[in-house]
A and B are shown apart, each in its own frame.
Chain A
Amino acid sequence: MSKAASRPPTLSAKEYLVLEMLVANGPSYGLQLVNASSGRLKRGTVYVTLGRMEEKGYVESEPDPDAADHLVLPRRIYRPSGYGLKVFEAWQAMQRVLEWGPAHLSQQWEGSR
């Protein structure tokens, strides 16, 4: 197993947001994600984030199959990969576990010992 593969997956706040929107809104292209994010994603960096997520294996992309104009580049449609969905669910579960805050969790930990 490679060193990178042995590390637990990481998900930045932007990557989490992208996955959240892709799960909620279905397959989208970059500009749609920017418009739906109400200013949390920027046009100049959305494709950098999507490119990084694709390299990490969190999203998959394909050229827009409905593109009719052959003179212009087809838009790239992104959807969460199976691995990306698992990471997203794991992150949500972790958030649920940790949302009580450090004080409450410490008390619970002490009580269980």
Chain B
Amino acid sequence: MSSADRPRRVPGLRLRALAETLFDQATAHRILLPAIADLQHEVAESKDAPGAASVFARCRSYAAVWRTFAVCIVTRSSPSQWSTWRQLLVGAVAVLVVLTAGLLYGPLTRTGLPNLERLAVFLVPQALALSIPCSVLGAGLLGQWSPKQAGNPGAFVRGILAYSIIAAAASLIVMIFVLPAANQEFRQQVQAGIQMKSGRVPSNLVMPKGYPEMTVGELREVRRRATLQARWPIGEQASYYLHLKGALPAASLALCLLAIALAPWKRKQRFPGVAGLALSILTVFAYYLAFAGGRWLVFAMAAPAWLGAWAPPALSSVVAMLILWRGGLEGQPEAAGGLGPVPAPRG
């Protein structure tokens, strides 16, 4: 099939669907669809421009549309929607703090060294890497159970989506920049503490790095060398940790989808708070099993590194999509948690 015969791809179709799903009719039609129309026309007009200019025009148009989305979330929300978001945020922060503290407790009590506060600082990023994605799910399933808020599922979906995007960005920064440095510093501190405890003068020797302590550049270098020397297991393991730097932040988005898909079911229960807690624990446990299984398969050379790292978020997203598709959030009565009919335009 030649390029002329191929059906034309129109940009912005998904953005249009997203705008019509997330926002009321007035906001979608008065603000977002005109911005998307500009995007479509600008992309079409820049098609014949040289490569870089066309890419630049496309990026500028998409950035403008996303900025319009962000402004709409802030400026076009009603007080009840803000109340839902406040509740979501409080739920997310509570889950984040509890999980981080829980994850710190075990390693710190096992360490048994002085300067625990200092060690805790370096251990926090390790705990954050796991608790950020869990907080998205927890906020989705726990932070929004009051019957007062159940009639406002559109605001819930918008709020949890916004939080998951912020959480994914924060998680990416933690995984790429903060975690390797903090992990290595934690190891150095523990080594110095052990030496002091046994009456020796702490040495300045830099400990060799493990995979979790390596930066993106170092992991790439290990993989390159392992490939040159035909040491496949080492190359695959380094590659797994490299993929994990993207896959763990993606978990925030995947778990957000799951929270959206499971929320209507949870709200139908007699005790939605308890149902939300049980669902959160079960889902996190299942996610952890998938995560550990993926790692085991890669280290046993039974699966490629990309598959081991990306399988948990991909599986969660597929499960969420299936639930959404079967249950159909749209069209359900609002009390059951569906998005319900598009509200009448404001103003």
Contact = CB atoms under 8 A, between A and B. Distances in A.
B30 A73 contact: no
Contacts of A66: none
A106 to B, nearest CB: 38
Interface residues of B, number: 31
Interface residues of A, number: 21
Contacts of A30: 34-35, 38
Nearest to A48: B71
Contacts, number: 72
A54 B44 contact: no
B300 interface: no
Given A54-B30, A55-B30, A71-B10, A47 B35 contact: yes
A29 B34 contact: yes
A51 B27 contact: yes
Interface string A52-65: 00110000010000
Nearest to A44: B67
A31 to B, nearest CB: 5
B68 A75 contact: no
B10 A47 contact: no
Contacts of A50: 30-31, 34
B40 A72 contact: yes
Contacts of B67: 42-45
Contact of A47 (B16, B32, B40): B32
B346 interface: yes
Looking at B10, B36, B38, B42, the one whose CB has the most chain A CB atoms below 10 A away is B38
Contact of B72 (A29, A31, A48): A48
Contact of B10 (A55, A72, A74, A75): A72
Contacts of B326: none
A76 to B, nearest CB: 4
A69 interface: yes
